[in-house]
Amino acid sequence: MTPRTTAQPQMSTEEFEELARRAPELVRLEFIQGKVQVKPVPNGNHAEIVKWLQKLCMQHRPDLWLYPEQGIAVETYRKGRARPDGVLAPDEHFAGAGEWAAPNGVLMTVEVTSRDADTNRRDRVEKPDGYAAAGIPVYLLVDREACSVTVFTEPEKGTYRSATTRPFGAVVELPEPVGFALDTEKLKEYAD
């Protein structure tokens, strides 16, 4: 049997969207590189990290909002669907957009790793490629397992040309169009 890829997706985007609508609240579904993926429901520390980032984004960029769990269409020709832990975009950017919004105008996506077997493939490999292919300028990965933060930038031809990793506790620059620094000391409290 031939493995399924983006050239041979498991199902159509429309079929995936119907499946995602009917999924139980215990899971979040995504459609990345032609495959349905299950994203676990976040735990308390995961939620605290997203809340912490929301506060910082509001303080530094009150014209923007970090939308938690906003579905976006990613990958070439809108064949993918991702639900990042956070999507930084102008305030009211997604008004009327529906469940799977176009990535146009998104300045940054955020993923916070979970304790599951697929986190390496999903958050560290496939998501950066999907977000880069969608032209999202910045991808911020908060890696609780590695106790580090990685900032991916310069999307080009489906990949980020630059990735900078710093340990929790370091000051991390989020370049334009985000344009502020994160003091990640607080993340040490949420590493587990």
Condensed to tens digits (0 to 9), the pLDDT of residues 171-190 reads 999 999 999 999 999 999 98
Does residue 19 carry a pLDDT above 90? no
Long-range contacts of 144-149 (CB under 8 A, 24+ apart): 144/45, 144/46, 144/49, 144/112, 144/113, 144/114, 144/115, 144/190, 144/191, 144/192, 145/113, 145/115, 145/119, 147/187, 147/188, 147/191, 149/182, 149/184, 149/187
The model's pTM is 0.77
Q: Where are the domains of the chain?
A: 42-190
What is the percent of the chain where pLDDT is above 90?
52
Using a 10 angstrom Cβ sphere, with 0-12 exposed, 13-18 middle and 19 or more buried, the burial of residue 145 is middle
Return the CATH superfamily for domain 42-190.
Answer: tt1808, chain A (3.90.1570.10)
* DSSP, residue by residue, 109-136: EEEE--SSTTHIIIIIIIHHHHHHHTT-
Q: Which residue has the higher pLDDT, 145 or 3?
A: 145
Averaged pLDDT, 1-11: 52
Does residue 7 carry a pLDDT above 70? no
Q: Assess contact for 108 and 84: CB atoms under 8 A.
A: no
Residues 54-90: tens digit of each pLDDT: 999 999 999 999 999 898 988 754 578 888 999 999 9
Does residue 163 carry a pLDDT above 60? yes
Does residue 3 carry a pLDDT above 50? no
Q: What is the DSSP code (8-state) at residue 143? A: E
